[in-house]
Structure 1
Amino acid sequence: MKTAQRLGNLGTETSFRVAQDAAEWKARGNEVYPFHLGDLNFPMAPHIVEAMDKAIRDGKTGYCPGPGIPELRAALADDIGKRRGVTIDPAEVVVTTGGKPVITKFLQVVMDPGDGVLYPSPGFPIYESQIEYLGGNALPYRYVPTADGFAIDLDHLRASIDDKTVAIIYNDLQNPISAESTEAEREAIAAIAQEFDLWVLSDEAYFEMRYKGRSKSIAALEGMRERTVILYTFSKKFAMTGSRLGCAVAPREIAEVISTLNTNDESCTTHYVQWAGIAALQGPQDEVGRMLEVLRKRRDATCSIINSIPGMSVAVPGSTFYVFPDVTEAMEAKGIATLSEFSTEALHNTGVSFCTREHFGRRQDWEDRSYIRLAYSGIGENDITEGLGKLRDWLAQG
């Protein structure tokens, strides 16, 4: 039977395919060092678990308002606003089943078929997937390597804009490359958005996953609140990936439409999970600090070993829990032509499982270097050292 033609434009988060390959390799009795998925091997804090359990015991298991329960919307408005230096009305907050739905709902609200949307490349693959699935024109903008990591090529971004471009997706503290904008870069993106009258989706999933300094939101810049939708998620900071809780912070007219989309799509976000979200925001933050300290040690171990491997190099990121090393020379020395072959051979020879640049949107014509992404969020420090040591030894064999 016939299916919809638009399904041909639907991509996916292909890192889950890497996870399947790793699981199959492990099932055959092999050791696997899991650097592939950006999940966290930390438990939810006990007070969050207790709040969820209490909500279930109290009967908060039925339907609730589509935009979220008032108590959580108010808590989110207060916390997100204070941390970004902006005033947020709870009516501008719409609770969602994780951060990912905000991407699709933002595009549904601001983009008609044929409109252009700028998105980072490499970047979270759902950006490209949803733009194209909804009939938009996906306009990738590129990053250039620097001594500190990567920077947006602002000239290339500007040159990609035409009279059909309606929005830009901006992911400061970026997955997969861990790039963080300078103040000047953030201000330049804001200026471009205002000059060309673009909506902005500010994906702030990793806003508080940082090891020094303080994050800033593009929404706090002059003239940006009225054109910016913030994507917020509980998944990273509170290790609540499976709970599926997040929100959109949007101008009120946009928030109202996203709320309507909620009602159409899933009715509401799970009621008792929302009470856990309140506990996460308003309860003790000790577990967050401890998790970040563990992640910092994992980052340091990962980067130290990578930079000791001939043909591999990476800048030490100040945020997220990913590194994006250049492996061009390492592949050449090994006689490996493609990233797909490199990842398979690495898994089978060392047990190290990782994603590659190809898992983060379509590779572009301008790219002449090869990169992989290692997530250290779900692997302990000892396994990091052991696994990457095996990778180094394998590559040294020539």
Structure 2
Amino acid sequence: MRLASRLDDLGTETAFAVAAAAADWKARGNDVYPFHLGDLDFALAPHIVEAMDRAIADGRTGYCPGPGIPELRAALAEDIGSRRGTAYTPENVTVMTGGKPVITKFVQAVMNPGDEVLYPNPGFPIYESQIEYHGGVGKAYRYLPTDSGFAIDLDQVASLITDRTVAIIYNDLQNPISAESTDAEREAIAQLAVEHDLWVLSDEAYFEMRYEGESTSIATLPGMAERTVILYTFSKKFAMTGSRLGCAVAPPELGKVFGTMNTNDESCTTHYVQWAGIAALQGTQEPVREMLETLRGRRDTACEIVNGTPGMAVEVPKSTFYLFPDVTEAIEIVGARDLADFAQRALHETGVSFCTRNHFGRPQPGEDRRYIRFAYSGLSQERIREGLTGMRQWIEAAR
């Protein structure tokens, strides 16, 4: 029996492939430090759990409206709008089962087969996967290293736009590199979108996962409200990764399309989980603040050790829970053939498991530096220190 040929273009979230190798190594009796997967090891806040349990007890376990229950759509419109200094109504909000469906449904809604969509590389691998799976042409744009982190190559972005380009995916506070746009960079992307009449998917999964400063949404810039879809998720801010709850914030006409897609794909987002989402938005935010302080400590510990390791260097990020250190010289020190060999040897020699730059899109021509990604969201400060110190000692011994 034959399967559909388009399956050849369906990728995956590559961190899960790394997780399989780490699990296998652990199953052999080895200690593993899982820096590969951006999950959170924080318990769900009690008031969120109570709201979910109460909703189940009240019988909110059946079907509900495809675009989401009105109470959650209203709460999301208020919260997302107020935090971005703009106004949204429930008609702008379509509840979904996490952030990933927003990517898929955005691509399906705005792109025909053969159309071009620009996306960041390195970037979340599901962008590329969904563009190509649905018959589009993915055009990757790069980031350039600077003295303060990474910046979008705006000249390249402009050069990639053709009369077949319909959209650009933009991830401020970026996974995997933790880059945040300057005002000028954000405005430049907005200007290109307006000039070329492009849709924009603004992935704002980490909008509130920051340790200093304030986030700004590209959707609030002139000419952007009518062409921008915001990806919002409860997974990061509220540590609700397994609850699968998120939404798209979009112009109402596109929101109606998303609602119809929901009805076709899932019928609806789990009813009682939506009531937990309301409690997360409207209840105490102290657990969020406490989690961010804990993550800040983990970030500082990880950065201190990484920057004290021969052949490794990283800027201290102001947001997300990822580090993207340059390991070009470290690879040479240990005599690894390439990034994959470096990652495998690090796992077997130190137990430290991580993704590499190659897990976040195909490397582009001219890349001469080598990077890896550490996710510090699922390890205690003690485990971070233990694991990364072991990796530092391994590299020092090879020097």
Same fold (TM over 0.5): yes
Amino acid paired to 1:77: A
Q: Distance in 1 between matches of 2:387 and 2:276?
A: 36
TM-score w.r.t. length of structure 2: 0.99
Residue 139 of structure 2 aligns to a residue in which SS?
Answer: strand
Residue of structure 1 equivalent to 2:106: 106
| In structure 1, distance between residues paired with 2:248 and 2:344 | 38
In the alignment, residue 222 of structure 2 is paired with which amino acid?
A: E
1:327-338 aligned at under 5 Å gives the runs 327-338=327-338
Runs of 4+ in 1 over 4 A off after TM superposition: none
Distance 2:268 2:73 in 1: 13
Note if 1:294 corresponds to 2:294.
Answer: yes
Distance in 1 separating the partners of 2:336 and 2:91: 54
- Match status 1:358 vs 2:358: yes
1:97 aligns to what? Answer: 97
Q: Identity of aligned pairs, percent?
A: 71
Mean CA deviation greater in 24-33 or 277-286: 24-33
Q: Which amino acid aligns with 1:63?
A: Y
**TM-score, normalization by structure 1:** 0.99
Letter in 1 for 2:37: L
Partner SS, residue 397 of structure 1: helix
Q: Aligned pair 1:161/2:180, yes or no?
A: no
Consecutive unaligned residues in structure 2, runs of 5 or more: none
Structure 2 counterpart of 1:234? 234
Q: For residues 121 and 67 of structure 1, what CA distance do their matches in structure 2 show?
A: 31
CA distance in 2 between counterparts of 1:329 and 1:378 reads 27
Aligned counterparts, 1:55-70, within 5 A: 55-70=55-70
The answer for unaligned runs of 5 or more in structure 1 is none
1:336 partner amino acid: A
What one-letter code is carried by the residue in structure 1 that aligns with 2:53?
D
Residue aligning to 1:384: 384
Structure 2 Cα separation of the partners of residues 360 and 110 of structure 1: 23
> What is the CA–CA distance in structure 1 between the aligned matches of 2:7 and 2:385, rounded to whole Å?
42
Helix, strand or coil for the counterpart of 1:78? helix
Alpha-carbon shift at residue 366 of structure 1 (Å):
2.5
Which amino acid counterpart does residue 260 of structure 2 have in structure 1? T
| Structure 1 CA distance for aligned equivalents of residues 40 and 307 of structure 2 | 24
Of 237-246 and 327-336, more deviation after overlay is shown by: 327-336
TM-superposed CA distance for 1:110, in Å, is 0.4
Query: Where do residues 243-254 of structure 1 align in structure 2 (5 Å cutoff)?
Result: 243-254=243-254
Question: How far did 1:24 drift?
Answer: 1.3
Q: Distance in 1 between matches of 2:134 and 2:40?
A: 31
Letter of the 2:365 counterpart = D
SS in structure 2 of the partner of residue 226 of structure 1: coil
String of CA shifts for 1:33-79, please: whole Å, max 9, x gaps.
Answer: 11010000001100000000000000000000000000000000000
Calculate the aligned-residue CA RMSD, in Å.
0.6
What amino acid maps onto 1:50 in structure 2? E
Match of 1:134 in 2: 134
How far apart, CA to CA, are the structure 1 residues paired with 2:87 and 2:366?
A: 41
* Residues 161-195 of structure 1: per-residue CA shift (max 9 Å, x gap): 11100000000000000000001100000001001
Q: Distance in 1 between matches of 2:10 and 2:23?
A: 25
